[in-house]
Structure 1
Amino acid sequence: MKVLIVDDEPLAREVIAGLLARHEDMEVVGQAGSGEDAIELIRAKQPDLVFLDVQMPGCDGFEVVRALELDPMPQIVFATAFDEHALRAFEVHAVDYLLKPFSDERFEQSLARARAVHAASKRSELAERLMELVASSDVGRPREQRFAIKSGGAVYFLDAEEIDWIEAANNSVRFHAGGKRHLMRATIRSVEEQLDEQAFARIHRSTIVRLDRIRKLVPQEHGDYLVVLRDGTELRMSRRRREELRARLPC
């Protein structure tokens, strides 16, 4: 796995680099001492795993994650001396949260989690490539009109026209339909490929929305937009998706 270390304290970076050096499958591809440098390095190096300090001068760890908008995103392990950030770390789908000072054993547990997620991601990626190969050999295949969702031993069929919006949830996707939520084991990319591209649009690396559910677009600071649905749900739209979506909506 390619690993990037981000911490404003050189000694903290050295500690993590030393622990990683014990593992042949971990390759440190770079280190950053600030959030701004981290964003630049992550985009350039495309690491699989990032050890990211939360509290840094200027751009903090959470701002780094928000600024990336990569697909796929690297795995994030937050490392900080402040435990009050733990809940926020998992809200942004961090793989783990290391509270400084951490033991070698605790660090090893974090690496084990990262390896497991990485392996699952690779399997999913191979499956997606196979699906793409099958799809390319059957151009006339109709788009998916319903999804089979397993729930409590039963199978629930969700029609595509019922879906309001979809979000990525670790190695699954969550369908939002009529105020209800349905979880299915899949990647958001594989689901997107099955949807009618005339009816749905990707507005963020982790969000797909049904176009006829959009009520309005609200401009925010720095060129960002808020997508407001008919039921009042507010979704963030990344800047690079903005023009594509505006072109597909009626004036």
Structure 2
Amino acid sequence: MQRMNAPRIRTLLVDDEVLARLAIRQALASHADIEIVGECGNASEALQAVAALEPDLMFLDIQMPGKDGFGLLHSLPKAPLPLLVFATAFAEHALAAFDANAIDYVLKPIDQQRFDQAMGRVKKHWYGMNVSTHAAANDVAGNYLRRISVNTGEHSRVIPVSDIDWVRADGNYVRIHVGGKCFLHRETLRHLLESLDPNDFLRIHRSIVVNVDRIREVHTLFQGHAEVVLRDGTRLDLSRRFRAGARAALGLR
């Protein structure tokens, strides 16, 4: 059952066997909160799909022609990756799969009960990231972060959140841009976003959050691309997935 106020989990299937992808589709049929946004038969297709579709969850086979599943993961950018479930016929890769921060590991042929257990773990993780954010956004008395301390080597610098211009994810870190300076801070973008007032900060890309007051212009570019221009001239990608939210937050038509 889909929880209220939580977005559907946009899912990408990556497996070189059509029947294997069909089996996962059938196993997902009873999960109404899943939206399958694409299928790929190899790592090259998957690299393009992750960049274009920005899925929340990826089911990934390990042994594929050319680059295998682990090779695909190493080729993906450091920006926040989709949640990951390996689906493979080979149990000996389980340890390596969890080393790759997979949520779970299911064997083919798919056993529905075991598959549903894996989906339970996925949803627990997903709703933990998203429901708390939505709940905070709807809580008028929500306690949002007002200051953040970043390590600058020999000391810590305290930065008022209102001084932040924009933030970019970098793996398990974020790069916080303030007045032309950049500070590396050990925290994931998802976790930081939960602490920021959604009235003041807007997510415009899977890996980018901006201070709404710093936005000067929004440009529509060729081939459906768009960008946000900040007051200091910084240009940042506005992805399709977050365009509707940006229009609402900025009063765009």
Counterpart Cα distance in 2 of 1:92 and 1:51: 21
What does 1:63-142 align with in structure 2 at a 5 Å threshold?
Answer: 63-70=48-55, 72-74=56-58, 81=66, 89-91=75-77, 107=93, 110-114=96-100, 116-118=101-103, 128=129, 139-142=140-143
After TM superposition, give the deviation of residue 233 of structure 1 in Å.
Answer: 3.0
**Structure 1 residue 182 and structure 2 residue 167: aligned?**
no
Matches within 5 A, 1:191-230: 191-230=192-231
Q: Percent of aligned pairs with the same residue?
A: 27
Q: Distance in 2 between matches of 1:136 and 1:247?
A: 15
SS at match of 1:175: strand
**Where has structure 1 moved over 6 Å in runs of 4 or more?**
75-78, 85-88, 119-124
* 1:112-171 Cα shifts (integer Å, max 9, x gaps): 323x35389999768658966995997424432112335658543221122111223334
Q: Structure 1 residue 29 and structure 2 residue 24: aligned?
A: yes
**Unpaired segments ≥5 residues, structure 1:** 18-27, 32-42, 96-103
CA RMSD of aligned residues (A): 4.6
SS of the residue 2:51 aligns to: helix
TM (norm. structure 2) is 0.57
Cα distance in 1 for partners of 2:129, 2:67 equals: 39
2:103 counterpart SS class: helix
Report the 3-state secondary structure (helix = DSSP H, G, I; strand = E; otherwise coil) of the residue aligned with 2:198: coil
Q: Residue in 2 aligned with 1:246?
A: 247
Report what 2:43 is aligned to: 54
Q: How far apart are the structure 1 equivalents of 2:220 and 2:208? A: 18
Asked if structure 2 preserves the Cα contact closer than 8 Å seen for 1:167 and 1:207, the reply is: yes
* Structure number with higher relative contact order (C-alpha < 8 Å, ≥ 6 residues apart): 2
Amino acid at match of 1:6: D
Cα shift at 1:76 = 6.3
Structure 2 letter corresponding to 1:180: C
What's 1:173 paired with? Answer: 174
Q: Secondary structure at the residue paired with 1:228?
A: strand
Mapped contact 1:46–1:74 kept (Cα < 8 A) = no
Structure 2 alignment gaps of length 5 or more: 1-10, 27-33, 83-89, 105-120
Alignment-mate amino acid for residue 53 of structure 1: N
Question: Aligned partners of 2:53, 2:241: CA distance in 1, in Å?
Answer: 12
Displacement, 1:172?
3.8
CA 1:3/1:239 → structure 2, altered by over 3 Å: closer, same or farther? closer
1:64: Cα distance to partner?
Answer: 0.8
Q: TM-score, normalising length from structure 1?
A: 0.57
Helix, strand or coil at the partner of 2:197: coil
Task: Choose 136-145 or 218-227, whichever is displaced more.
Answer: 136-145
Matched pairs, number: 205
